[in-house]
Amino acid sequence: MTDIHHYTALKLMAEDTTHVLALASHVQDGLFPITSMTFDSNAGAFTCLINRFCWEMCDHFDHHQSYFRVHCGLTIRHVTNVYKRNFHQKGAERVLNLLTISVVQNEGGYSIRLLFSGDREIDIQVTKIDCVLNDFHHPWPTTTKPAHWHEHVEELNRVV
């Protein structure tokens, strides 16, 4: 990949826990508008939009002075229930930082958990793993790359 105009949109499918972990690596630090999520109980589908950071493009465009983000959609099928933890309807924060996605097997199937900053979580109960993540548009440049506290421990130790 040498030219942003020849970008190939990401489309991933997850059918087991290993696939979900790979998918999670692509949405890490995604911006998640809480108004974008829907659960259609009749269809058994949870969908949401994510403004994801393009981790896969960090080293591909040496001539660019920026990083990239892209709009993508996440669909999870075979959903029986959705639980939210620490979501406040009247809260001022309407866009959350998606930290990762995890999967835990349970009696009825699996629990797919979207984990957010601020100790928020969406727990999606599914009978089987069936997820799709796909980009909608071309990426756009951003000058900021998400930072993680563990990447700066050495810097913090020098200051103290």
Q: Per the domain annotation, does 74 fall within a domain?
A: yes
Q: Say how many domains are in the chain.
A: 1
Q: Are 68 and 142 a contacting pair, CB within 8 Å?
A: yes
C-alpha to C-alpha distance for 63 and 40, rounded to whole angstroms:
44
Residue range of the domain that includes 15: 8-159
Give pLDDT tens digits for 93-123.
Answer: 688 999 999 999 999 899 999 999 989 999 9
Q: Per the domain annotation, does 2 fall within a domain?
A: no
pLDDT of amino acid 83: 96
For the chain, report the end-to-end CA distance as a whole number of angstroms: 42
Q: What is the pLDDT along the chain (160 residues), one digit of tens a residue?
A: 445 666 788 899 999 999 999 999 999 999 999 889 999 999 999 999 999 998 887 765 555 557 888 999 999 999 999 999 998 766 666 889 999 999 999 998 999 999 999 899 999 999 999 999 999 988 888 877 877 554 444 544 555 5
Q: Per the domain annotation, does 3 fall within a domain?
A: no
Q: Per the domain annotation, does 151 fall within a domain?
A: yes
Please provide the average confidence, as pLDDT, over all residues in the chain: 85
pLDDT of amino acid 84: 94
Q: Per the domain annotation, does 1 fall within a domain?
A: no
Q: Per the domain annotation, does 64 fall within a domain?
A: yes
Which spans in the chain are helix H? 17-27, 153-159
Give pLDDT tens digits for 23-33.
Answer: 999 999 999 99
pLDDT of amino acid 56: 81
pLDDT of amino acid 21: 94
Of 92, 78, 18, 26, whose CA–CA distance to 56 is shortest? Answer: 26
Q: Per the domain annotation, does 28 fall within a domain?
A: yes
pLDDT of amino acid 82: 97
Q: Are 3 and 57 a contacting pair, CB within 8 Å?
A: no
pLDDT of amino acid 149: 56
